[in-house]
Structure 1
């Protein structure tokens, strides 16, 4: 009888310790709320195709208010032979522009790339490099 009582006490203590262990290791997932907000600047970014009477056509990037007022060219100085290939996208923080570009030599596209620069056109730099058989266009920035 003593052995049965002792083994019952030991099993009860062991069961209680398992329950306490399970409770102390309980996983609780608390999702942190993302309080990131973006300030709308009321600007749009667009490209203009410049087609001179003589010579090759090229794109320029411009900004304007939503109603079309305050149009301003975004002056981007790219390396020699590199031209913007189309539309640009603005980063969610409204500080960086992303756009496709290509290198044109002797009437042939020799390289394409994806570039980034500050919203004012400063600090242009290549972020994705390609070949003449590839084409890049910035679709979404998030």
Structure 2
């Protein structure tokens, strides 16, 4: 399990596109306070994990997609508890509440809490020992999907209500010789009825993406990847497209595929010189058809958040992160106010 982003590989690749120029990477107010089709105004918030200036402790931050109002969410935790590092926060479908993960040392134990998105009204969901948890997404307003590590560090998928009730394992009959993929391994479709998940073989090669019903039945193959690739699910769009990170020979790319297995392709993104796509938690789709993603330089000291169209065009800078801070995008929500 990941323990700190400082230990993660920061190698990546910058994808060049003739349709974009470097000058397009500038700030704009697109995607914030824009009128949605149904009337009113919309605002997109980006929630991200940040370690402040090489500090061991992780923080949860939020910034508007326009780059404005970047600030830390102050969450008051019980004594001895700290925010977990990655896969640690999700925002509810209505954008009003957070689910987030914490851990404590001596003895090592893990927990899940909820709060409002400003960090207030903190309430416990569950606490346990073992080898770690990772949030995967909200199923509906009152329940979340998460994985739980076993003692031999396999993964099991669970759901639980935010009041701590009805924790249950989701039993999925995996194909012979395959186990759940690593880390960002499962997402919930927009209607809350299906799970999209990753598998890998015992040798951690030949990764695949599958889809099943919420109860684990009806497993169907979406795609098989190359044997030399490592993949991690990033997000699902509202119209049934999976975004996933594909790493081959230490280079990170962003790919998409429809959930029926068609239209698999790399998303070509033009980035400033010396900036690369991060690995792992680096891309999210907004409900109004945009892409939010994070970048890093070769040694990880310069990180940033960008936005673009879902096809990778129209790249603009959202936020340059202060030197020495390390980030991972957690959740993105577009809220409409009528």
Question: What TM-score, normalized to structure 2?
Answer: 0.28
Kindly state the Cα deviation for residue 109 of structure 1 after the two structures are TM-superposed.
2.5
Shift of 1:68: 2.9
* Aligned position for 2:227: 132
* CA positional deviation for 1:140: 1.3
1:88 Cα offset (Å): 1.3
Measured on the aligned residues, the alpha-carbon RMSD in Å equals 2.5
Match for residue 100 of structure 1 among 184, 190, 198:
198
Higher relative contact order (CA 8 A, sep 6+): 2
User: Counterpart of 1:60 in 2: which secondary structure?
Assistant: strand
Would you say 1:119 and 2:214 are equivalent positions?
A: yes
Q: Bigger CA drift: 90-99 or 37-46?
A: 37-46
CA contact (8 A) 2:155 2:180 kept: yes
* Equivalences for residues 38-57 of structure 1 within 5 A: 40-52=140-152, 57=153
Q: Which runs of 4+ in 1 moved over 3 A?
A: 31-34, 37-41
Aligned length: 103
Does the Cα contact within 8 Å between 2:210 and 2:220 map onto a contact in 1?
yes
Higher alpha-carbon Rg: 1
Decide which structure has greater helix share.
Answer: 1
Q: Which runs of 5+ in 2 are unaligned?
A: 1-35, 40-92, 95-138, 239-338
Shift of 1:41: 4.4
Within 5 Å, give how 1:1-142 maps onto structure 2.
Answer: 33=38, 40-52=140-152, 57-85=153-181, 86=183, 87-104=185-202, 108-141=203-236, 142=238
Contact 2:158 2:169 in 1 (8 A): yes
Q: Give deviations 1:16-42, integer Å, cap 9, x for gaps.
A: xxxxxxxxxxxxxxx9749xx999441
Contact 1:77/1:121 (8 A) holds in 2: yes
- 1:103/1:110 contact within 8 Å kept: yes
Q: Structure 1 stretches of 5 or more lacking a match? A: 1-30
